[in-house]
A and B are shown apart, each in its own frame.
Chain A
Amino acid sequence: MIISQQKPIEEILGYLEGESNIFLLGCKGCAEACETGGEKQVLQMKETLTKEGKNITGTCVIDFLCDKALAKTRLFAHEGKIGKADSILFMTCGIGVQATSAVLPKVCHPACNTISVGGARGEWRGEERCNECGDCLLDMTGGICPLTACTKGLINGPCGGSKDGKCEFEPDVRDCGWMLIYERLKKLNKLDNLKKIIEPKDYAKMNPPKDIRSTIMWSLEQKQVN
């Protein structure tokens, strides 16, 4: 299971600054179990944001936002409400944001930090990867993670090794993550995001306390070991 934690509401409101119409997207997978993106939390978020003067154009809770093909099919029914929104708030893990934002033509904000994937990396079929950094940057980067999409994990833009949109590490197969981010932000009319200096990552957040790190699989494994 992928462990997520809701970001502080101040941070979320910061993302939504200047936007009035928001669509809320929850996930019935891990995020429901973590109580960060199930029906209940989505309704709570709707209430909170409404109080803050936001108009919620719609809400939807889908099984596994990490499966973008499934999510895209399910979201067809909400096309109108999504179309009316300035942005979509994702109440799910970093994988869910990356996968489903790739098939939506809107600005996507993460409402959660991903704390741990708890050894469950093999469950989704996409190319999206999460480093469980505990301080999700996807809001700044158009839903593409710079820590995993960029070979060097750079957070302030491309290095000088990007050629024809490919990375110097494996130019035959690997895209330059920052070119993907640049293209996505350009499409979303959000290139100003690139101008903000992102402060050095707090890598201490990558090492969460044991009670958060513990997952069902992890607990079972501990039992088997002991």
Chain B
Amino acid sequence: MNLGEHFKSGKFVVSSEIGPPKGINTEAMLADADLLKGKVDAVNVTDQQSSVMRLGSFVTCHLLKERGIEPNFQVTCRDRNRIALQSDLLSAAVLGIENVLCLTGDYVSLGDHPEAKPVFDLDSVSLLQVVTALQNGKDLSGSELSGSPKFCAGAVVTPGADPLEPQIIKMEKKVKAGAQFFQTQAVYEPDKFEKFMEQVRYLNVPVMLGVVMLKSVGMARFMNKYVAGIHVPDNLIEEMEKTENKADKSIEIAARLIKEMKPMCQGVHIMAIGWEKKVPAVIDAAGL
């Protein structure tokens, strides 16, 4: 069942995320994924996250599908031009991968191959247009396809962006281009999220709250300093500082954030960044 079908059923949709390894040893990643089976509605597979070269999102999604886990195929515009992107989307469809999360992608300089040629032939909006076009049986140049793929296109938005207006304008464009659901950047401030949700209500599109598990005080400070659109408030940093058991505290904070913001949105996307094994505990603690 793809994410769109879950939203239609009216349930609060839960997803999490795994990052493919640098190399071909997939055991650890698949063990993490198995822990999520039956606990979440879909598992995102990152596309060379932070521009670091890794095993591909596409083949990893296929491995998840084989294990009965619904994948959410993350696709960025950084590494492939419109020909390669369309071809990979068709390939994914043949293997039964339906959820596609369309992203711009980090700049190459952030990763481990800063000397690479950045592509960005398309952007997140035109990638969504491509997904829509393929579903309608045509490619970007208007040529007929033999058989139309079925997708559920998703996109991302940053509720904590400052200024927020350009983010919302782009979100509106993404909806026009075919986005059927949104996953957000990490949110730690429920009041800000509530205001954001009020502002995007007119778009009438399901939004999944992004929750990144806080692993340490250092991580919180790092995100505040360097990651766009993320702000961890001082009270949460203090809580992390005072605790003797960081893992338990992290689970508690994530669950609390989810409980508090659940009434405001249609789903949650939990990003564990290495702590994938603790995601089931977050889900239990949040009562999902």
Contacts and interface: CB of A to CB of B under 8 A. Distances in A.
- Whether chains A and B associate is yes
A179 B107 contact: no
Given A160-B229, A200-B126, A152 B169 contact: no
B203 to A, nearest CB: 12
Nearest to A159: B104
Best-buried of B82, B122, B126, B167 by chain A (most CB within 10 Å): B126
B79 to A, nearest CB: 12
Contact of A168 (B126, B166, B177, B228): B228
A156 B188 CA distance: 28
A164 B230 CA distance: 12
B120 A200 contact: no
Contacts of A157: 125, 166, 169-170, 173
Q: How large is the interface on B (under 10, 10 to 19, 20 to 34, 35 or more residues)?
A: 35 or more
Interface in A153-210: 153-164, 167-169, 171, 178-179, 182, 191, 194-195, 197, 199-200, 203
Contacts of A200: 82, 121-122, 126, 129, 140
Given A153-B120, A195-B169, A195-B172, A161 B228 contact: yes
A146 to B, nearest CB: 10
A163 B229 contact: yes
B163 A182 contact: yes
Given A160-B156, A197-B177, A168 B129 contact: no
Interface string B104-118: 101101100000001
A158 B166 contact: yes
Contacts of B162: 164
A160 B104 contact: yes
B161 interface: yes
B65 interface: no
B5 interface: no
A151 interface: yes
B105 to A, nearest CB: 8
B100 to A, nearest CB: 17
Contacts of B106: 161, 168
Contacts of A155: 123
Given A158-B170, A164-B162, A182-B163, 7 more contacts: A157-B166, A157-B169, A160-B104, A163-B226, A169-B110, A197-B177, A200-B122
Q: Which 5 A-B pairs have the closest CB atoms?
A: A157-B170, A163-B228, A156-B125, A159-B104, A152-B120
18 contacts: A151-B107, A152-B120, A156-B125, A157-B125, A157-B169, A157-B170, A158-B166, A158-B170, A159-B123, A160-B228, A161-B106, A162-B228, A163-B226, A168-B107, A179-B166, A191-B169, A194-B166, A195-B173
